[in-house]
Structure 1
């Protein structure tokens, strides 16, 4: 199902027309760090906060640290059919676990430049997982949001300014053992995990 544009609703009350912004329900597959990796990522955040206060950033809650694997779209309500298709795609995959080492912080460009953790070397198995998921999503007609390139990263913050350059960090080795399907009502706190699929050892 293609993503639908979500227009604001308008109502009239005693003080004239006002705008009610509809909820945005976001779906995506992601890699979530275990507790040890999450703590190490959070320590990297603390050092960046000390070293670069000029970022004036809005920092991500550690519970929401993740690496997006495949984006499935924004919807005005949770689409049961898309969730079922996504589950079917994930069920069809057979992928191996792997280690991923994050070793530097950088900024992406944007109105609020994301501050992210990245890796000098992207594991072949991570690239293969993304490619295999894209193929599986195409098989169930969820191909609208398939990207041509994959830039794996963990978003730490949305900032007022960019980091001046890539910033080396103490390497964070992250063992990937599963991936998850996440439902996020944008702006409303925690993620909801709708499914989890193991990566073989």
Structure 2
């Protein structure tokens, strides 16, 4: 599950607009993406849980990510929004972030099976705040909520599964963050730009 965005309504430039729910269209967000080895580890966990709990949801192997901050949902992605988000991303500085997810659980509202944990939460939160401030300076509405729980969605399914500790944590050091265009209604992510985490 991506973090639930706030409903800002329309604003003059259409930045951060979410006045209606789009079943199709475009979503823009900043995220960390795991390396191939971590994707394979997450895929194995998803497969184990699908078999153990007879889940019908398919793993999201091509779009695994950790959302840092949501930019907006749009019927059609506006060029001025992309330009403003690029400006915001370019102003942010952070050291590499050591991520570690040691639990698996279900987010009931989103019907999402996710892995999560505290490893990397504090530096990722600092990066999130930097992006939120930069986005606000670029013309976006305030978009920094207090209930931030870094996670990676493995699949969506209606069935409940118990929260459990992972035998082996899913860990990696993120050396970059990305601006991603998600095509809603499809399992498709397009990387618009990426920035190194150099410290």
TM-score category of the 2 structures, normalised to the smaller one? 0.7 to 0.9
The equivalent residue for 2:185 is 187
Count of equivalent residues: 185
Distance in 1 between the 2:16 and 2:48 partners? 41
Q: How does 1:6-25 map to 2 (within 5 A)?
A: 23-25=24-26
Superposition RMSD in Å: 2.0
Task: Verify: 1:177 aligned to 2:175, yes or no.
Answer: yes
How far off is 1:164 after superposition?
2.3
Kindly tell me: are residues 174 and 57 of structure 1, through their superposed partners in 2, closer, same or farther at Cα, counting changes over 3 Å? farther
Partner of 1:117: 115
Q: What are the ranges of 5 or more consecutive residues in structure 1 without an aligned counterpart?
A: 9-20
C-alpha displacement of 1:66? 0.5
List structure 1 segments (4+ residues) > 6 angstroms apart after TM superposition.
none
CA–CA distance in 2 between the matches of 1:119 and 1:49? 21
Which residue of 165, 168, 175 corresponds with 2:166?
A: 168
Shift of 1:4: 4.7
CA contact (8 A) 2:180 2:191 kept: yes
Find 1:159's aligned residue among 150, 157, 160. 157
- Larger-Rg structure: 1
- Distance of 2:21 and 2:107 partners within structure 1: 28
Cα pair 1:106 1:165 within 8 Å, conserved: yes
CA distance in 2, matches of 1:7, 1:46: 31
Question: Structure 2: how far apart are the matches of 1:176 and 1:7?
Answer: 31
Partner of 1:100: 99
Structure 2 residue aligned with 1:12: none
Q: Given that residues 28 and 69 in structure 1 are in contact (C-alpha distance below 8 angstroms), is that contact kept between their aligned partners in structure 2?
A: yes
